[in-house]
Structure 1
Amino acid sequence: MPRPLQLHPDRLFPVDNTQRDIARKLYESVRDLPIISPHGHTDPSWFAGNQPFGNPAELLIKPDHYVFRMLYSQGVPLESLGIAGREGTPAETDPRAIWQRFAEHYHLFRGTPSRMWLDTVFHDVFELDVALDASTAELYYERIDSYLKKPEFLPRALFERFNIEVIATTESPLDDLRHHQKILDSGWSGRIITAYRPDPVLDPDYEGFADNLRKLAEITGEDTGNYAGYLAALKNRREFFRQMGATSTDHGHPTATTANLSPAEAEALFNRVRGGGASSEDAELFRGQMLTEMARMSIEDGLVMQIHPGSVRNHNKVVFDKYGRDKGCDIPSRTDYVHALRPLLEAVGNEPNLTVILFTLDETSYSRELAPLAGHYPALRLGPAWWFHDSPEGMRRFREQVTETAGFYNTVGFNDDTRAFLSIPARHDVARRMDCNFLSQLVCEHRLAKDEAFELAHDLSYALAKRAYKL
């Protein structure tokens, strides 16, 4: 007999009865607030075309690097999940076979946030009441596949059903944003905006960097063969994104290194890197200089700046060479912020018209570096527990380590940072439950009045993200 699939109403709440009762009441006050999703990787073409999603494997397995990561670690070949190699390696094409293989290995996700998100999607979105395993794989496939064919499961209908107020996707500066334009032209009231992710033209180590600069020149009509023209081209694209609704930029550099070179030094550095053959030291310095340049541009155009450092991307070279990016091979690394950010902060850190949101995958920096920095510099805010730490434990550690120094109001609420559209409500629900859990403890310890806890629950669930990202 398959196990029942049940979502306990008190999941993630405290064990203590008194504290749990407070957490319940706090959660009830924010459970149905609209979702602000200010940073993510959902595909705007879904909402532009508003066509039915594909089969269960295409929707829930193949785009999800959390799934790849766990299954690959247990010896499941990526080809068996439908991921073909760059050189035409044969891959499974039968979505039912892919789903069956996933179901047979679903036990590997026990205790992980992925399991919590997926179970919530299965239960709340697809109305399944038995747990997924090898014996229920066919039932799951048939149910999900049939539901995806219904009009109420079209992307725009789900957006409205999920009570999403706004989603910001993430696009390269070389993107023409045609899908965003189609959404705007359609007259649909759903708010899907873009965010400017300039890594392909800021990072000399990004594949195709030299070609990307040439494309940037073609798009903007600026001469990216010289530094002044290059900066003008970047400003040109920022303005285009801003006019298309963007309120933020996003920077996924490997470290938080910044620099503040003189114009002559910056131009000489640009001339060394633009051909694509820069040394690793030059590439790192250039990325650092460009973060400071991006901050200066943010003061001018008002775009909020996000910095997502600390991931050694594509760590498994064998997998990257064979399958490409986003296959679960990224690994967190130690990240310095105090010294790395100082050039940028000395240049613009006291500017009242600048907001820089810092993220980290290095939790050791929370109380030692990030909270003290954000607790002082007017330009800095702290992004939520992210990626590997987007979990109940990660959220608890974040609040415990940053609140004492940075408080709540130097943080920016929650963002889901996901490609998995159907899991967005589940992820926000976890964040709301964990914040209510944390606030209930402060109330029970008489460190926070109940009315303050209710105000904070609303701010952490909704208002802080909306304010920080100018939404």
Structure 2
Amino acid sequence: MSHKNFINDNFLLQNKYAQELYHDYASKMPIIDYHCHLSPKDIAADRIFGNITKAWLDGDHYKWRAMRTLGVNEKYITGNAPDEEKFQQWAKTVPYTLRNPLFHWTQLELARYFDEYDLLNEKSATAIYKNASDKLSTSAFSCQQLLSKMNVEVVCTTEDPIDTLEYHQQLAKSDFKTHISTSFRPDKAIMIGNDGFIDYLGKLEKASDISITSYQDLLDALTKRIAYFNENGCKVSDHGLNSIPYATFTEAEVNTILKRRLNGEQLSAEEVEKFESAVLQFLAEQYHALGWIQQFHLGALRNNNTRMLAQLGPDTGWDSIADYPQAEKLSKFLNSLDGKDKLTKTIIYNLNPADNEVMATMIGNFNDGSVKGKVQFGSGWWFLDQKDGMTKQMNALSNMGLISCFIGMLTDSRSFLSYPRHEYFRRVLCNLFGEEIANGELPNDLNWIGKMIQDISYNNANEYFNFKK
């Protein structure tokens, strides 16, 4: 039975204004995915997945959480069950995901990549698995082709300072039209309280060819790696922090703290925050000097299930939303940089929806007229990158800032099949404006509003990041 009437041309578009805004203005705009976790190795090798489980289920902890909730055994999720059996278990799960964004994403991705409009369930699973896997076994559905099919103009992956960037270098020399860039994510060099901090410094020593025995050595090593990333076209940094650390410090204090940690001594919470504050402030000033953009992803409570973390490792679906205080230290951090005129373009993402208005007003404190949308309230992220979360983020930004300056959507994904999320975002965006035109809350000026939709979908990000191959 076909359900083509579910994913149809006007999916999520509730009136004629929303439909016109989407079809005439938003739909054809290219995609700039300025933050994701795709594998540059897979892109450089132009990997062919061979089946839909490898392309779609491997690494997708959104799907894994849903399957576990339904009672699916872990062997069908991250275990050693055959790929088709894993897919069958996901297909069995999908009908139970109604009202979860996974249901929409699943059907949209099947439609856009595989021209598959039947609803995925136990009955349709075998045919859909064969159709999608047959296509994913051909060069027409390689990693690079999957990006090209979705009109992806720029992809910005996320790499640690110790990364060689060899795959980015290969891609820079290739004729692949999508521009593949990187972002610099130095969290492991900041989080001195983490168990793996000392081991990580050893890796940073090798990558930088600098022995790290003092705070200045650490800064020299990071500076060298920043320069290396910059030489390889990096224009963006990224930080995944619980909250922004901010404490007053002296370099002598921070040097003593690092030496104590290198000697195996326990640090107090105050010492940890002083160190983290110092390194983050230093990095932010380096970003400013190079004209980079800095991103802060705030508010995740990670690795909650220690038993499953021990079995499967991090990023396997055991994270949730935290309720850390965010406003005061974030303000002090931004103000300390702005006071030196060393605040670069900044994007702030929150994971706790209770912080929407905090972030929407915080950015206004540091938008100083020097650059359009200099400080951005980032799109709904992780648990919030769905219809309700994105709508609430855009409403907060609209009410307390200028949504016209918003740089729009990113995938933050590990999956090459996730790019219809940009379409999903654009449909939600167009419907938001379309409903208010219909209600008489916005003027019926589709040319002007359509231009604004195009700006949010693509033009603002294109201007803000200015990626060039």
TM-score normalised by the chain length of structure 1: 0.91
Q: Which runs of 5+ in 1 are unaligned?
A: 15-19, 84-90
Moved more, 401-410 or 162-171: 401-410
Q: What is residue 67 of structure 2 aligned with on the other side?
A: 71
Letter in 1 for 2:52: P
Matched, 1:9 2:15: no
Deviation at 1:345, TM superposition (A): 2.1
The one of 180, 197, 213 equivalent to 2:201 is 213
Q: Is 1:436–1:457's contact at 8 Å kept on the other side of the alignment?
A: yes
State the Cα deviation string for residues 78-107 of structure 1 (Å, max 9, x = none). 2222x2xxxxxxx33411111112112222
Whether the 8 Å CA contact 2:153–2:177 is kept in 1: the answer is no
In the alignment, structure 1 residue 380 sits paired with structure 2 residue 375: yes
Secondary structure in structure 2 of the residue aligned to 1:357: strand
Paired-residue identity, %: 25
* Structure 2 residue aligned with 1:361: 351
Could you tell me how far apart the structure 2 residues matched to 1:397 and 1:39 are? 21
Does the Cα contact within 8 Å between 1:258 and 1:291 map onto a contact in 2? no
Residues 1:365 and 1:421: Cα distance change in structure 2 (over 3 Å):
same
Q: 1:253 to 1:352 in 2, by over 3 A?
A: closer
One-letter amino acid of the counterpart of residue 334, structure 1: D
User: Which residue is equivalent to 1:390?
Assistant: 385
Matched residue type, 1:217: E
Match of 2:370 in 1: none
Counterpart in 2 of 1:86?
A: none
Q: How does 1:33-72 map to 2 (within 5 A)?
A: 33-72=29-68
Amino acid at match of 2:211: D
Q: Please report how far the alpha carbon of residue 408 of structure 1 lies from its aligned counterpart in structure 2 after TM superposition.
A: 1.6
CA distance change for structure 1 residues 464 and 185 in 2, over 3 Å: closer, same or farther? Answer: same
The equivalent of 2:316 in structure 1 is 327
Distance, in Å, in 1 between the alignment partners of 2:331 and 2:274 is 14
Could you report, residue by residue, the CA deviation over 1:118-142 in whole angstroms, capped at 9, with x for unpaired residues? 2112122112232211122211111
- The residue type paired with residue 80 of structure 1 is Y
Structure 2 counterpart of 1:87: none
| Structure 1 partner of 2:142 | 154
Larger relative contact order, structure 1 or 2 (CA cutoff 8 Å, min sep 6)? 2
1:108 aligned to 86, 93, 96, which one? 96
> Where do 5+ consecutive residues of structure 2 fail to align?
368-373
After the TM superposition, which residues 48-447 of structure 1 pair with which residues of structure 2 at under 5 Å, given as runs?
48-81=44-77, 83=78, 91-274=79-262, 277-349=266-338, 351=341, 354-367=344-357, 369-378=358-367, 380-409=375-404, 411-424=406-419, 426-444=420-438, 445-447=440-442
Say if 1:22 and 1:260 are closer, same or farther in 2 by CA, change over 3 A: farther
Return the alpha-carbon distance in structure 2 between the equivalents of residues 406 and 340 of structure 1. Answer: 21
Q: Distance in 2 between matches of 1:352 and 1:71?
A: 46
Matched residue, 1:17 = none
Separation in 2, partners of 1:285, 1:412: 33
Q: CA deviation at 1:200?
A: 1.9
Shift of 1:332: 0.7
Matched to 2:149, the amino acid is R
Quick check: 1:23–1:436 contact (8 Å CA) kept in 2?
yes
Give TM-score scaled by structure 2 length: 0.92
Q: Deviations over 1:337-366 (max 9, x none)?
A: 321113322321353761121100111122
Contact 2:406-2:460 at 8 Å conserved across structures: yes
The CA distance in 2 between the partners of 1:327 and 1:37, in whole Å, is 23
Residue 244 of structure 2 contacts residue 333 of structure 2 at CA under 8 Å; is this kept in 1? no
**Which one-letter code corresponds to 1:179 in the other structure?**
Y
Q: What is the distance in 1 between the residues matched to 2:204 and 2:119?
A: 49
